[in-house]
Amino acid sequence: MNIANIDSSNSQNLTMQALDTFTFPLTGASLIEASAGTGKTYTIVNLYIRLLLGHNCAPLSVEQILVVTFTNAATGELKERIRQRLRLAYLDFFAKRSSDAFIQQLIEQSENIELDCQRLALASKQMDQAAVFTIHGFCHKALTEQAFESGAMYEQSFILDESEWLKLAAEDYWRKHIVTLPAQTLQLLLTHWKTPEALLKSVGRLLSQQAKPQQHATITDAIDCVDRYVEQVIKIKQWWLSNKVSEQLSKANLNGRAKLAKPATLNAMQGFCSSELLQIDFDKTGWLLFGPEQIAKAAKKGSEDLSHLDFAQFEQLQSMLLNCMQNLILAFSGHAMAVVSANLASHKQMLHLLSPDDLLLGLQNALNQQAQDNSSGNALANIIKQNYPAALIDEFQDTDPIQFEVFRGIYGSDESNPISGEYKSCWIMIGDPKQAIYAFRGADIFTYIKAKDWVARQRQYTLATNWRSAPSLIDSINQFFASSSKGFLFENSIPFYPVKAGREFSGLHIKGEPVKSLR
């Protein structure tokens, strides 16, 4: 996503309301920001229990509460955490008392303890059928269960790793579009990508994220740029040989430590000028090794005057080379992304294969198509919403643009009941936006900001208590970030919210001496 598309002014730098798990609305779309150690998983499970019991909402079964996270390990851990807490909650409800303040409050407000006990016991036994999925697992289930509405093919093989097919697609591109290039263009391009694998490594992640380049260059323009560079290289070669520049430099009494004065450098340049090569690997300075600045640095008292030689043309040559390489990389990166993506899709379609990314794109396309085709409503979205009236998206900071559009396509168009004013479904996004800067698992910080701007301000919450860290460390972190008006780059959309310590302990001591929490 283009940074320019984010209007940080939409998000006001105001203190978010602290989340009260007991009164949190279980209808409509809501956003919860949770820093590390603030009890995010505990909060998710508490909301899950409220949904099961129908606390200020309609009671749901474990198969109706969709919980989405981003790895198989995380889904297994989360499901086990829910199962354990349901068992404990059942025992507390059965005993009609609990040491957990949240459960105790639910017990006190229960209208039918026996019925709630049954619901908790049944949910605990049915956790194997619970709708706790990875994002790809959810998309796969939605596409296969609603194959007719989504337009998905019934018989397709699911592959977790499409690298083999991606490699074949890149090799196809290399054979058809790289090795057939004019020799001079190919020579330069091979200095950047020596193999199909190198090309794929360069554009592979962009392909998986459906990235759109902000700069463009055509292959025709890139080749024209190479031709102009070649003309300049030929002129330099002729000038060097006709003026016997190697000989003049070797006799100029330059500083012996200067690279351009060394016989090996001059011999390499002499050989280059007699070859068909377009580029010589001196060092990071490139052609500027023979530029006026380097010539002046190499000169010493008693050196020959070389002002009659036009070394400034090497500066022009370096500029042309950089421009030429930029155009080549831009042109062939964009072209390769389009063609390799099409090749990959063709291979998989022919063999009826589906990858994890195909699941996301397939569900997004199906939702978009349904929205366009049905003026009366999105049938696919409505069916998914009926199956899963409540959705909790864990680690929401790891969401990319496609994932956000999928869930917004399902739950974002939810309309409230004209009589009660309540929404038909519940969509809760939970995450720590500060973690999105690492782009872990394809996270896109601009998607998070877009989602936050989309959610109503009064439906945005934060977990304000850290239960993991020592109070001294929490106080230090609060003071450190609060001392700056711009703690983060997008401070209007992702401001720093101080948290309080949830428990008292003194922290680390070494030989009886306390260690400072923050250095």
Query: How confident is the model over 71-84, as pLDDT tens digits?
Result: 888 899 999 999 99
pLDDT of 45 strictly over 70: yes
Model pLDDT, residue 315: 93
pLDDT score recorded for residue 36:
84
Instruction: Give the 3-state secondary structure of residue 246.
Output: helix
CA trace torsion 272, 276, 282, 283 (10° rounding): 170
Determine contact, residues 230/278, Cβ cutoff 8 Å.
yes
Region 352-356 average pLDDT = 79
Average pLDDT over residues 354-358: 79
In this model, does residue 416 exceed pLDDT 60?
no
Stronger pLDDT, 420 or 497, i.e. the higher one: 497
- Under a CB-based contact definition with an 8 Å cutoff, are residues 126 and 60 in contact? no
Instruction: Confirm if 285 and 294 have CB atoms less than 8 A apart.
Output: yes
Q: What is the pLDDT of residue 498?
A: 85
Which residues on adjacent β-strands are paired with residue 412?
none
Nearest residue to 103 via CA among 62, 42, 57 = 42
42: tokens are 């505990």
Which pTM does this prediction carry?
0.73
If you count DSSP H runs as helices and E runs as strands, how many of each does the chain have, helices first? 19, 13
- Least reliable range by pLDDT among 23-37, 303-317, 367-381, 387-401: 367-381
Alpha helices in 126-262 (DSSP H): 135-145, 147-150, 163-173, 183-189, 196-208, 219-242, 245-250
pLDDT surpassing 90 at residue 212: no
List residues bridging with 31 in a β-sheet: 429, 460
Q: What is the CB neighbour count within 10 angstroms for residue 50?
A: 21
Distance from CA of residue 85 to its chain's centroid? 32
pLDDT higher than threshold 80 for residue 342: yes
* Res. 10 pLDDT band, cuts 50 70 90: very low
Specify the range with the lowest mean pLDDT, choosing from 158-172, 293-307, 411-425. 411-425
Distance CA 131, CA 119 (A): 16
Asked if 11 and 493 touch (Cβ cutoff 8 Å), the reply is yes
User: In this structure, what are the phi and psi dihedrals at residue 466, rounded to the nearest 5 degrees?
Assistant: -95, 125
pLDDT at residue 276 is higher than 50:
yes
Q: pLDDT-based confidence at 422, cuts 50/70/90?
A: low
- Residues 378 and 383: their CA atoms lie apart, in Å, by 9
Mean pLDDT, residues 88-99:
96
Residue with tokens 């054979």: 175
Q: Quick one: which of 152, 518, 170 has its CA closest to 360?
A: 152
Out of 48-62, 161-175, 329-343, give the one with best mean pLDDT. Answer: 48-62
CB under 8 Å to 84, separation ≥6 — which residues?
none
Give me the phi and psi of 421, to 5 degrees please: 80, 0
Q: Write down the pLDDT at residue 433.
A: 83
User: Rounded to a whole number, what is the largest CA-CA distance in the chain?
Assistant: 103
